[in-house]
Structure 1
Amino acid sequence: MDVILITLDMHLRTTLNKILTFQTITCKAFEQFTKIKPLIDNNSESIIFLDDRFQGSLEILYYLIENYPKNKIVLLVSSDKVKPTIISEGQLIFATRPIDNSILKILKTKISDKVIPQKDELDDILIGSSEAIVKIKKTIRKLSQTDYNVFLYGDTGTGKDIIARAIHNLRYPSKALITANCSLLEGQLMDSLLFGHTKGSFTGAYENQIGLIEKAKDSTLFLDEIEEFSKNGQAKLLRLLENGEYRVIGDPKIRYTKFSLITASNIDYKELLTTKLLRKDFFHRISNIKIYIPPLRERIEDIPQLTYYYERKQGYTDYIAEFDNLFTYSWPGNIRELFSVIDRVHFYNSKQLIPTSELIEN
């Protein structure tokens, strides 16, 4: 098996040549990507080490993922940018340099494993290989076999809606996800949206309306910004969750339903309880499983995959070539801000480099 090293760092080349010459592995270093391509074409089992300081490293990473799905890729990033770690999920292995003995021991096991797990639908929805995202994916897969109520929390822009959809898609692949944002409606309007109403039941009720609860029967109801939900609404929904009973506004008839509930907030659940934005009994009922979605600054190793995913989704043919600044920026707007920056760069900059000025929070 060949190990191919793409770097201009002579010290790194020497170090890896020494430590990677084990078993039947030989290490070859290159300073030009064009010289590597023929070797990869003839060896689908080769392991490729890519130094993120190499010019055009992100563009090369994209090319390798797209054209060589059977080759394992080790992306080397400075531990000054991220905590010393090694992350592996399938084809891409994310490792920090310098490579110490603890990382090397794990790395040898990872690159010796010839099996690359097949991707499933979840991998196409929830992008990333960081420890946090791998943990969330495992939780979602376990949730697919249950109807537990799920509470998602994390900063704005971290992708809570994406995770809600991922949970729903695995549970009810043939059903529609029913969603509502609690900040957009309040009082009777929110009750009407959730429970439905009959014609003439209140001023402005000109016709019968089916509530989201009925639409979500045997499916999923996703309520975002749950902290904005009124106390009266919380009490009504709690009663429904406990016994399955509800009434349409204007109709005394008791109805029954069953659905899975996912709620989300950008406020930590402990704060929601101490500030009494949510009733304790209501919160305990809606949070059988709690999932924390970390901000992008805490999982920056996912940035290359997120960037690659978004550029393909948008149909960009020229990929961002370098991503050093992407790792060092704090990303207060999280994934939403990353995607916005990518759009701006493609609009203004034909070379697809990330100038620091583009990453200054306005």
Structure 2
Amino acid sequence: MSGVIRIVIIDDNMSSLELLSTALEREGLSIHTANDPREGLELIRSLRPRMVITDLVMPGMTGLEVLRQVMHIDPTIDVLLMTAHYTTETAVEAIRNGAADYLQKPVKIADLRERVRRLLEAAEKRRIASSGSDESGDFHFEGLVAKSEAMWNLFAMVEKVAPHFRSLLIQGPTGSGKDLIARALHERSGLKGKFVVLNCSAVVETLFESELFGHVRGAFTGADRDKTGLFQLADGGTLFLDEIGDMPLNTQAKLLRAIQNQEVMPVGSLHAKRVNVRIVAATHRNLRQAVKEGRFREDFYYRLSMVELTLPPLAARKEDISLLSSFFLRRFAGDFGKKVEGISQRALRVLERYSWPGNVRELEHVVGRACMLTDNVTIDVKDLSENIVGASSEALAGAVDDPGASVLDSQERAVVERILRETNWNQSEAARKLGIGRDALRYKMKKYGLGSRPALSR
């Protein structure tokens, strides 16, 4: 982070102001304080700080009113609210209204410093992402890799809600990384319990109760011993319910009661067991539509979606493709014991033109396959699968192995025809020189009416 970072602290308690400002004093931070919220707002208007830390309950103006004013002045300012009257619901509501975080009083100094450090780092990465600059070189967040502004805004939201949520819904297309966001929420929550996963699409309907709540010996045929359910395994931690849209309606009702009451009844038992579990649910389905069609319980949906996070498809954040490709390549090169050091610019251009219906997971498989098959230190277009190259719009643009060749669309036909002539219309050789597969070459030949070798003139 470059330059001096300004932080404004607002609290009607002078002792608290002194404690907080002293705790945050360090090189690179400029701390400004106000014991009156209106005075604090004037400081904010004149200084335009990176962060505002404000008490929630103050005479004359509440912290929520300060938050609303700050969002009007500059919505990029991070606002951290403090209160002695903490509840999950008010914390989540404050975050929905734009708060960056929510701390309980009396504030623990170590916790305050860590929260401020994380918020400042995340703000800097969002600034870099929005400017397109690569100056930090650090685009990792709890196992996720991205430099797009959309993803760093999502990471910021994860940071905000992780300490507070009780139930949360992640929506996004298949292969976009919903499981990684769920794990990031758990890691950033501070919970000491386990991160437990259930894929709802992989469970037989009759076994859902046993999987979630457990059973006692003799509860049903084949129950020859007691089984601990996933709720109990996740006690003190997070239960991740992947593909929640595939859960049967009757199971949704029982799960809703378990989440509301924080207790489970093992199948065949007469005694409920108390649990303390946070729920993260994920789906690629449109649950609002499923509710309208009667395929998903409305009350269950609203319980899960107290907080909603949406993952964008890879096609909507193509600026991440280069970074993700390099990340996967390093991993696969290590796994395969190969000295593959990078991906050519023309191969990257082909990847960036592809529509990625399988999202990040598909990109991972494509890079893994190319790394496995290549004999060179750099992955090139010829190492990519033919369906990727063939389906990429304008896949030849920039892929021709001829620095003098134009890559304009209007000249693509001339480039293909020239390479075909140079290779005496040998399609395998022409495809190799063009850096594409034979299927992609045939597609271009058909597109431009280059179906056969021209007749020789007499």
**1: CA distance, partners of 2:128 / 2:351:** 18
Change (3 A) 1:245 1:346: closer
Contact 1:227–1:278 (Cα < 8 Å) also in 2:
yes
- Equivalent in the alignment of 2:356: 331
Q: Deviations over 1:217-248 (max 9, x none)?
A: 11000011111111111111111111223211
- From 311, 317, 320, the counterpart of 2:339: 317
> What's the offset of the Cα at 1:272?
2.4
Choose between structure 1 and 2: higher helix proportion: 2
Change (3 A) 1:358 1:188: closer
> What's the offset of the Cα at 1:354?
2.7
Change (3 A) 1:246 1:229: same
> What's the offset of the Cα at 1:330?
0.4
Paired residue type of 1:307: S
> What's the offset of the Cα at 1:178?
0.3
**1: CA distance, partners of 2:343 / 2:193:** 37
- Equivalent in the alignment of 1:248: 266
Paired residue type of 1:343: G
Alignment of 1:6-17 (within 5 A): none
Contact 2:237–2:278 (Cα < 8 Å) also in 1:
yes
> What's the offset of the Cα at 1:201?
0.5
Change (3 A) 1:117 1:138: farther
**1: CA distance, partners of 2:142 / 2:282:** 22
**CA RMSD across the alignment:** 2.7
Contact 2:125–2:152 (Cα < 8 Å) also in 1:
no
Contact 2:171–2:285 (Cα < 8 Å) also in 1:
yes
Q: Deviations over 1:295-347 (max 9, x none)?
A: 11000101111112112222253222221111111011111111111112122
Paired residue type of 1:157: G
SS in 1 for 2:196: strand
**1: CA distance, partners of 2:193 / 2:230:** 14
Please tell me whether residue 276 in structure 1 is matched to residue 294 in structure 2.
Answer: yes
Paired residue type of 1:241: I
SS in 1 for 2:153: helix
> What's the offset of the Cα at 1:175?
3.4
- From 329, 343, 346, the counterpart of 2:371: 346
Please tell me whether residue 129 in structure 1 is matched to residue 147 in structure 2.
Answer: yes
- Equivalent in the alignment of 2:212: 194
Q: Deviations over 1:243-278 (max 9, x none)?
A: 223211111112211211001111123222222221
Q: Deviations over 1:91-139 (max 9, x none)?
A: 99679xxxxxxxxxx68xx79xx8x4977xx625121011210111001
**2: CA distance, partners of 1:313 / 1:91:** 26
Contact 2:142–2:184 (Cα < 8 Å) also in 1:
no
Contact 1:90–1:117 (Cα < 8 Å) also in 2:
no
- Equivalent in the alignment of 1:149: 167
**2: CA distance, partners of 1:214 / 1:169:** 19
- From 254, 258, 283, the counterpart of 2:276: 258
Please tell me whether residue 231 in structure 1 is matched to residue 249 in structure 2.
Answer: yes
> What's the offset of the Cα at 1:142?
0.6
**1: CA distance, partners of 2:128 / 2:380:** 24
- Equivalent in the alignment of 2:184: 166
Change (3 A) 1:246 1:176: closer
- Equivalent in the alignment of 2:198: 180
Deviates more, 1:139-148 or 1:325-334: 139-148
Contact 2:192–2:237 (Cα < 8 Å) also in 1:
no
**1: CA distance, partners of 2:294 / 2:310:** 20
Q: Which runs of 5+ in 1 are unaligned?
A: 1-87, 96-105
Paired residue type of 2:270: P
Paired residue type of 1:348: L
**1: CA distance, partners of 2:366 / 2:387:** 7
- Normalising by the residue count of structure 1, what TM-score does the alignment of the two structures yield? 0.65
Please tell me whether residue 307 in structure 1 is matched to residue 325 in structure 2.
Answer: yes
Q: Which runs of 5+ in 2 are unaligned?
A: 1-122, 392-438, 440-458
- Equivalent in the alignment of 2:230: 212
**1: CA distance, partners of 2:328 / 2:124:** 19
Q: Deviations over 1:16-67 (max 9, x none)?
A: xxxxxxxxxxxxxxxxxxxxxxxxxxxxxxxxxxxxxxxxxxxxxxxxxxxx
> What's the offset of the Cα at 1:185?
1.4
- Equivalent in the alignment of 2:158: 140
**2: CA distance, partners of 1:198 / 1:206:** 8
Contact 2:243–2:281 (Cα < 8 Å) also in 1:
yes
**2: CA distance, partners of 1:310 / 1:205:** 43
| Corresponding pairs, count | 258
**2: CA distance, partners of 1:256 / 1:285:** 19
